[in-house]
Amino acid sequence: DQQVKQNSPSLSVQEGRISILNCDYTNSMFDYFLWYKKYPAEGPTFLISISSIKDKNEDGRFTVFLNKSAKHLSLHIVPSQPGDSAVYFCAAPLPQSNTGKLIFGQGTTLQVKP
Amino acid sequence: ETGVTQSPTHLIKTRGQQVTLRCSSQSGHNTVSWYQQALGQGPQFIFQYYREEENGRGNFPPRFSGLQFPNYSSELNVNALELDDSALYLCASSLGGTGSATNEKLFFGSGTQLSVL
């Protein structure tokens, strides 16, 4: 059972434009979400997070939106830069668990073209 | 500050063999989590160790086992390897046991790529 889903395996955008990465979840017990970025031959690194008490969180060029009724979140990158090319994972902590136990989506590979 | 290091970086084994993967946690971190990332998939939680005790386990069979040592480094052992065990194995460290611990403070190593032939 894939509780966190990223249905778009890949996305290609032009430098300077907006990148929108989507994520859906099925477990209504999830109350916190994170986005990780992964470059080849490196481990995932934390990018941005959002609590279910919010519907938006912004950090520089990165904004995450949460729609609880639709069980959907999205990551917006504006403006996109070639260095943003990477695999992006959304993730949620296992309900009632402590740090480090995350359920990840399948990932979306973002390519930003110069 | 030393980051999370994993060894080896690549490994080739044959079906039925046993393998041990190693992870040194980031300085000051007492919790290690292990993940399996199959090709084209996201990382899947295997188990977590906190202060040398297993602290939660994902949906993996008992032939996946682990250890954590007093210096908080960790090993992942897989017995009776199967072809489907071919994957990238990621280790992540964090500082657990405090009220302020959050998943943002999870630091991943670069992983061990295991191929089972």
User: What string of pLDDT tens digits covers the 117 residues of chain B?
Assistant: 568 999 999 999 999 999 999 999 998 889 999 999 999 999 999 999 998 999 889 999 999 999 999 999 999 999 999 999 999 999 999 887 654 456 667 899 999 999 999
Amino acid at A65: F
**Neighbour count for residue A69 (Cβ, 10 Å):** 5
Which pLDDT tens digit goes with each residue over A42-88?
A: 999 999 999 999 999 999 999 999 999 999 999 999 999 999 999 99
To the nearest whole angstrom, how far is the Cα of A79 from the nearest Cα of chain B? 24
Inter-chain touch A100–B96, beta carbons under 8 Å: yes
User: pLDDT over 70 for what percent of chain A?
Assistant: 99
> How confident is the prediction for chain A on average, in pLDDT?
94
Which among B43, B96, B110 is the nearest to A42, CB-wise?
A: B110
- Return the pLDDT at B51: 87
Closest residue in A to B113 (Cα) is: A41
